[in-house]
Amino acid sequence: MGIHITGVGSCIPSHTERNKDFINHTFMGEDGSLFSSENSEIIEKFEAITGIEERRYAKPDQVTSDLAYIASEKAIKDAAIDAETLDYIIVAHNFGDIQHGCIQTEMLPSLATRVKHKLGIKNPNCVAYDVIFGCPGWVEGVIQAQAFIKAGMAKRCLVVGADTLSRIADPNDRDSMIFADGAGATIIEETDKAGGILSHCTQTYSEDEAFFLYSGKSYNAQANPTDKYIKMYGRKVYEFAISHVPQALKDCLDASGEEISSLNKVFIHQANEKMDEAIVKRFYRLYRFNQPENVLPISIHKLGNSSVATVPTLLDLVKQKKLDGHAVKKGDVALFASVGAGMNINAFSYKF
């Protein structure tokens, strides 16, 4: 017996925003000053650091719960289940539904309730609630679903990660080029197969680190000062991640009983290509083990950072063999991990 991911689906918006599309933006520093560099140079440096070439944005008539619903339908179909048999719907996000052209967020009712409504589920015993846990929200949702199943409180859960960060990004902040929209969904249930989720770990650092990501006003002094956007201290986030995530990954793998030599894939939050590469490199150094090729699938080049959606979307792409050189097969061991606002770190190990 094991608790497995039996269905996967994602919603990758059709609109592509390329780096060149930012060429006419007015980028400013935190103090509102203009940069001396041309936008072409700013964009070139941005791509070299993050690895992002383009990102996806939701259509004007779509909101986060729409993307979550589309991904959920695909996951339910992939698992070949009746949606009415779901015991829990857990939707991880950070900013709720944001209408196109509006900065106000909507979280009443919860996005999980909205997804349940869109799916047409009538069963009142299917409990729907949201997880606000920064970028690690989907991973934490999976950990919670596993706990419900192990405790005998559920047999089958839908866990979704969805965000539309493009609508909460300050257009005058260079970091706006990082953020993207998307959704990924998974069905979590116990089966008679061995393997599945083997171990997990979660940490929250909330002393000096608590506000490394925060809500703040636009860098443009002419903007409405009461409007709040996603902001971050990028260098501090990077240093925090490479300092703490490798050990968390090791703790999680050690608790699984699997050897480092058995690890086939690390599905890690797609926040910054160089950061992800540095985390995984340091993780393998802790074991004094050479990092194998193709252990780290990357989607950030084309999809950007869609927060809680990145890890389940990455899994969906790999399972569909849409990332060159990456696939998973029965018996493969993987780590799923994320780091983000809070500052939160989490991971779970998994055997396919």
**End-of-domain residue from the set 168, 193, 218:** 193
Mean pLDDT of 337-347: 97
Q: Are residues 320 and 181 in the same domain?
A: no
Confidence category of residue 7, pLDDT binned at 50, 70, 90: very high
Burial of 104 (0-12, 13-18, 19+ CB in 10 A): exposed
- The per-residue pLDDT for 325 is 87
Q: Are residues 104 and 160 in the same domain?
A: yes
Q: How many domains does one find in the chain?
A: 2
Q: Are residues 316 and 176 in the same domain?
A: no
Give the tens place of pLDDT for each residue, 44-78.
999 999 999 999 999 999 999 999 999 999 999 99
Judged against a pLDDT cut of 90, whether residue 123 lies above it is answered with yes
- The per-residue pLDDT for 212 is 96
- Residue 136 has phi, psi (to 5 degrees) of -75, 10
**End-of-domain residue from the set 193, 224, 239:** 193
Largest distance between two CA atoms of the chain = 62
Confidence category of residue 153, pLDDT binned at 50, 70, 90: very high
Q: Are residues 231 and 207 in the same domain?
A: yes
Q: Are residues 175 and 232 in the same domain?
A: no
Give the tens place of pLDDT for each residue, 193-252.
999 999 999 999 999 999 999 999 999 999 998 999 999 999 999 999 999 999 999 999
Give the tens place of pLDDT for each residue, 260-292.
999 999 999 999 999 999 999 999 999 999 999
CATH number of the domain encompassing residue 34: 3.40.47.10
Q: How far apart are CA 246 and CA 278, in angstroms?
A: 9
Mean pLDDT of 175-193: 96
Q: How far apart are CA 131 and CA 349, in angstroms?
A: 20
Percent of the residues in the chain that have a pLDDT greater than 90, as a whole number: 93
Q: Are residues 153 and 222 in the same domain?
A: no
Q: Are residues 181 and 225 in the same domain?
A: no
Confidence category of residue 324, pLDDT binned at 50, 70, 90: confident
Q: Are residues 155 and 238 in the same domain?
A: no
Residues 6+ positions from 270 with CB-CB distance below 8 Å: 276, 298, 299, 300, 303, 304, 305, 306, 310, 311, 314
- The per-residue pLDDT for 292 is 94
User: Residue with structure tokens 């497995």?
Assistant: 4
Q: Are residues 218 and 308 in the same domain?
A: yes
DSSP string covering 136-152:
THHHHHHHHHHHHHHTT
Q: Are residues 262 and 185 in the same domain?
A: no
Q: How far apart are CA 176 and CA 216, in angstroms?
A: 13
Q: Are residues 289 and 160 in the same domain?
A: no
- The per-residue pLDDT for 35 is 87
Could you give the residue ranges of the DSSP H alpha helices within 160-307?
234-256, 273-287, 300-303
- The per-residue pLDDT for 101 is 87
Percent of the residues in the chain that have a pLDDT greater than 70, as a whole number: 100
Specify whether the CB–CB gap between 75 and 58 falls below 8 A: no
**Three-state DSSP class for residue 79:** helix
Confidence category of residue 150, pLDDT binned at 50, 70, 90: very high
- The per-residue pLDDT for 328 is 95
Mean pLDDT of 187-197: 95
Give the tens place of pLDDT for each residue, 67-110.
999 999 999 999 999 999 999 999 999 999 999 988 889 999 99
Q: Are residues 180 and 58 in the same domain?
A: yes
Domain range holding 158?
A: 2-193
Mean pLDDT of 4-9: 98
Judged against a pLDDT cut of 90, whether residue 36 lies above it is answered with no
Mean pLDDT of 312-341: 95
**End-of-domain residue from the set 167, 193, 219:** 193
